[in-house]
Amino acid sequence: MTLKRNIEGMKQFARQKSIDASLKVDNAIQQLIRNKESINFNNVAKIAKVSKSYLYNQKEIRSRIEQLRNQQDRRSLPVVKQNMTDHSKDVLLAAKNKRIKLLEEENQRLKNELKLLRGKVYDSL
């Protein structure tokens, strides 16, 4: 005699849990939209109190978040000033050249210091 397990209650609970999670995610997305906050997997997971892996594994939810995130990214692109004058380019180039020179001098100083310290370590052996 074999016993047949009654797991219908567990299946119903799992279905309800999935529906509840989907509703929490939907509410979290709506809240982020209302508050004009960034829509991404971290924020949605935090507000909805679900795991990020859940969001990534649910194809519909994943595509919705990605779509909303991409829409926000396109709207928030910074406006780049296209017309840089020759003078401002020269100033920027001079500042970068000065920075490069300072870094090269520091690099050389550190190399010399390293040689000295290696010599001291070798002498102490």
Higher pLDDT, 61 or 2: 61
Q: Confirm if 85 and 52 have CB atoms less than 8 A apart.
A: no
Q: Tens of pLDDT along 16-61? A: 999 999 999 999 999 999 998 999 999 999 999 999 999 999 999 9
Helix axes 8-34, 41-48, angle to 10 degrees: 120
pLDDT given at position 65: 94
Please state, in angstroms and rounded to a whole number, the distance separating the CA atoms of residues 43 and 39.
6
Burial string for 65-92 (b: 16+ CB within 10 Å, else e) reads: beebbeebeeeeeeeeeeeeeeeeeeee
pLDDT given at position 83: 67
Q: Residue written as tokens 């119903």? A: 12
Q: What's the pLDDT band for 6 if we cut at 50, 70, 90?
A: confident
Q: What's the pLDDT band for 2 if we cut at 50, 70, 90?
A: confident
Q: What is the DSSP string of 63-98?
A: HHHHHHHHHHHHHTPPPPP----HHHHHHHHHHHHH
pTM over 0.85: no
Q: Tens of pLDDT along 74-119? A: 776 565 556 678 888 888 899 999 999 999 999 999 999 999 999 9
